[in-house]
Amino acid sequence: MKERNPAGESPEKKAAGIAAADLVTDGMVVGLGTGSTTAYTIAELGRRVDEGLDIIAVVTSYQSEMLAIQAGITLTSLAEHPELDIAIDGADQIDAGLNVIKGGGAAHTREKVVSRSAERFVIVADESKYSEQLNHYVPLEVLPYAKELVSKQVRKMGGDPVLRLASRKDGPVISDNGNFIIDASLGVIETPVIISALLSQVAGIVEHGIFTNVDEVYIGKKDGSVEIM
Ligand code: 5RP
């Protein structure tokens, strides 16, 4: 089937995505993240598979599944391969302590499961994603019937919850797992580990977008260079 890809080229994302693909070697089981930066990693891995690279991969979304199939990468599942050598994924914001916020593509639940299944978790991003401290809204995947309860709990934490809509006149965004996404603005997140633990305790939140298990970050710069943090 023909597909339309509206995303424009980004040299910064491309540089980071391709540089991180170099970490992947023969025999690895690889977790493939979701988003426009990881798309470059998937394309690069596909190019190397054409040249003989021998890997199998687990995807984090229907989006990364489609890209991996197009790239000719052999897919497996966490049921068959529960331990991954590496997971490479994008981020919406990264702080100085390598804590990240993810879920701009509503895929953070599977992304977290995949990242926690991996020996090494690498983030790829352009430099606009870096901030000394996290202050981006936190995507929450919520059970649809728990959206009011979750919103109430987020307000109690001093946050501002907004249900993510597909467009102004469409209904809510539905995740690959059939759930809603609430974007919760929580101001500056000074203690990501504590906020992460608090959000994990809220009934109805399937998973939140704060990740505190990142090993390395590849930041692509405008001049095409890549900084590794
Ligand atoms: C999807 C994500 C993405 O990795 C994140 O939104 C970054 O996307 P992009 O690389 O397109 O900027 O977390 O849920």
Mean pLDDT in order along the chain per 10 residues (229 residues): 60 97 98 98 98 98 97 98 98 98 97 98 97 98 98 97 88 96 98 97 98 98 95
* Residue 110 half-sphere exposure toward CB, CA atoms < 13 A: 22
Q: Catalytic annotation on 80?
A: no
Out of 44, 65, 111, 141, the active site residue is 111
**Which pLDDT value is given to residue 102?**
98
**Which pLDDT value is given to residue 7?**
58
**Which pLDDT value is given to residue 167?**
78
Taking CA atoms only, the protein residue closest to ligand 1 atom 5 is 91
CB 190 within 8 A of CB 133: yes
Q: Ligand 1, residue 108: give the atom nearest the CA.
A: 14
DSSP state of 182: E
- Answer yes or no: pTM beyond 0.90: yes
Nearest to 121 by CA among 191, 32, 47: 32
202-227 in b/e burial notation, b at 16+ Cβ within 10 A?
bebbbbbbbbeebeebbbbeeeeebe
**Which pLDDT value is given to residue 4?**
46
- Residue 165 pairs in a beta bridge with 172
Ligand 1 and 139: CB distance under 6 A:
no
35 CA from centroid of ligand 1 (Å) = 4
Q: What residue spans of the chain are helical by DSSP H?
A: 11-21, 36-50, 62-71, 108-116, 147-156, 192-200
Q: Ligand 1, residue 103: give the atom nearest the CA.
A: 14
User: Is 126 marked within a binding site?
Assistant: no
**Which pLDDT value is given to residue 170?**
80
CA 229/CA 219 separation, integer angstroms: 8
**Which pLDDT value is given to residue 1?**
52
Burial class (CB in 10 A: 0-12, 13-18, 19+), 133: middle
Q: Ligand 1, residue 35: give the atom nearest the CA.
A: 11
User: Is 91 marked within a binding site?
Assistant: yes
User: Is 34 marked within a binding site?
Assistant: yes
**Which pLDDT value is given to residue 3?**
47
CA distances from 204 to 9, 207, 216 (A): 37, 9, 31
**Which pLDDT value is given to residue 169?**
75
